[in-house]
Structure 1
Amino acid sequence: MDTPPNITDRAALTRHRDRALPDALFLHDVVADEFQERLIEVNRTFTKIAIVTGFPEFWAAKYPDATIVGDDDTLALEVETYDLVLHTLALHWANDPVGQLVQCRRALKPDGLFLAASFGGQTLNELRTSLAEAEIAVTGGLSPRIAPMGEIRDLGGLLQRAGFALPVADGTPLQVSYANAFHLMHDLRKMGENNSLSDRIKTFTPRNMLTEAATIYADNFRAEDGKRVTATFEIITLTGWAPAESQPQPLRPGSAKTRLADALGTDETPLK
């Protein structure tokens, strides 16, 4: 088996998360509310819950009886033990996202539910663009500064690759306003979401480059009031079930007993 690329500097990520402030985790509050709404719709009682997270204290307060595990490359989950596994805004730091999902699926009992929230590809697109243009203008080069984040179709495909039944992916873009780009970057540090990429430049970013990025940001991504700037956080929710015989199964090809033309009330036109 191929070794996954070392995308994330786990030591740096841990340091950044340790410095995160509880009052800055508003995106986790959004995800917790979204999970709660979806679990109400499922209308099932879950008695054995596991949560994969980089912020154990936050999620332990939401689910006091849950097993909390870190989002390490190898998850500390027991096989076929849980009827609900939650994965909370951590996939963008995973060296092997498919491997994370496979481990979660294996940890579920048959017909157990998996819910994950992940940042989508539109997240921080404004900051990504502004930093890239500023770095090219000031240094003549380009370096990785924001973690790669998957598009909704790609993330939905990961569920299928991981072996989940009935996979669904849907996204919600959130628009957050800030006084300026510096306030946004400060907020990202308070969230523990500053740059933890292994290939990042490990020296301080030149002040003139950040100033240039803030100017580009203000010129191109103003809020409606014209005074503040906007930042996009796209939250993609993934839903899948551990396979079980009791779940709806697709019919084998050719087994239909009713013609599609009859169901649609139209005439069938044979192909030449």
Structure 2
Amino acid sequence: MDQIFDFEAMRKHRDRAAPRLKNIAPVLDELAARLLGRLDDTTQTFTTALDFGGRGAIAPALRARGMQVVSADVSPRLAAQAGGEPLVIASENFGLEGRKFDLIAAHFSLHWINDLPGALIQLRRALNPKGLLLASMPALGTLATLRTALLTAEETLTGAVSPRVSPFPDLRDCAGLLQRAGFALPVADVEDINFLYANPLALLHELRDAGETNAVLARSRKFTPRALFLTALAALPMRADRYEVTLRMAVLTGWSS
């Protein structure tokens, strides 16, 4: 399989974000509440849960619901502070024990994985029979205006372009990925969430603080001139005197058999 993402770079970005995570915690918590709200739609009882990459937004909420929680992350620091029993994921071969969890919640932690179908298969195998997967990830259209602005600014300033925003899956493919991974009753839906910034540099700071710095293998390794970001950010659309970007939050649900 072609490699798109740099796993080691992603791990380092998340590790470095650990002490800054409090800056972005309210956003992660709000998004986690939207994901975990799906639990209110089922009468199933869950006792054991895997928090897969939730960065402190998932494990406390699941423990408040009475579950025993293991918190897995590629970053040892994030795993340790996520709120559950820590488990470090050392590679894209997750090494999860089979049929261990009633519930797996993967909150914005799968979009840097090269083999997404393989990752979903691993998560399904870690579920007990009739276990539930809840996953959130950015879908195609997320940060679309930022992607375009960066490409335009870089071409204007340097005559070349490089990938600076991760490629995201199309929502139409998400339910199909769940089905291919062997999940029953696969469902994928999307919610557009708009963020407004008085200072667009705050967007870049929040992405850094969340551990979402560029980990695309084909990214430029050259020094990025500050003018590139200033030019690109100034070109973002505005609403009510604020710079606007959109997160297309895809929510995936599927059951193990």
The normalised TM-score by structure 1 is: 0.80
Alignment of 1:93-242 (within 5 A): 93-217=112-236, 221-223=237-239, 225=240, 227-242=241-256
Structure 1 residue 54, shift from structure 2 partner: 6.0
- Per-residue CA deviation, residues 142-185 of structure 1 (Å, 9 max, x unaligned), is 10111111111111211111111110000011001012332211
The corresponding residue for 1:11 is 8
| In 1: Cα distance, 2:251 partner to 2:156 partner | 37
| In 1: Cα distance, 2:23 partner to 2:205 partner | 13
Alignment of 1:14-29 (within 5 A): 14-20=11-17, 21-29=21-29
Structure 1 residue 240, shift from structure 2 partner: 0.5
| In 2: Cα distance, 1:207 partner to 1:36 partner | 39
| In 2: Cα distance, 1:153 partner to 1:196 partner | 24
The answer to which of 206-215 and 165-174 deviates more is 206-215
**Which has more radius of gyration?**
1
Structure 1 residue 93, shift from structure 2 partner: 0.3
For the 8 Å contact 1:88–1:116, the answer to whether it is kept is yes
3-state SS, counterpart of residue 216 of structure 2: coil
The corresponding residue for 1:59 is 58
For the 8 Å contact 1:123–1:233, the answer to whether it is kept is yes
In structure 2, what residue type is equivalent to 1:63?
L
| In 1: Cα distance, 2:95 partner to 2:30 partner | 26
- Per-residue CA deviation, residues 96-116 of structure 1 (Å, 9 max, x unaligned), is 110110011111122111110
Runs of 4+ in 1 over 6 A off after TM superposition: none
Which runs of 5 or more residues in structure 2 are unaligned?
75-90
Structure 1 residues 32 and 210: alpha-carbon distance in aligned structure 2, compared to 1, 3 A threshold: closer
3-state SS, counterpart of residue 104 of structure 2: strand
| In 1: Cα distance, 2:72 partner to 2:134 partner | 15
The answer to which of 28-37 and 98-107 deviates more is 28-37
- Number of residue pairs matched by the alignment: 234
Structure 1 residue 222, shift from structure 2 partner: 0.5
The corresponding residue for 1:40 is 40
| In 2: Cα distance, 1:63 partner to 1:76 partner | 22
The corresponding residue for 2:79 is none
Structure (1/2) with the larger strand percentage: 2
For the 8 Å contact 1:105–1:114, the answer to whether it is kept is yes
In structure 1, what residue type is equivalent to 2:116?
P
Which runs of 5 or more residues in structure 1 are unaligned?
244-272
Structure 1 residue 215, shift from structure 2 partner: 2.7
The normalised TM-score by structure 2 is: 0.85
For the 8 Å contact 2:29–2:57, the answer to whether it is kept is no
The answer to which of 197-206 and 169-178 deviates more is 197-206
Identity %: 39
3-state SS, counterpart of residue 66 of structure 1: strand
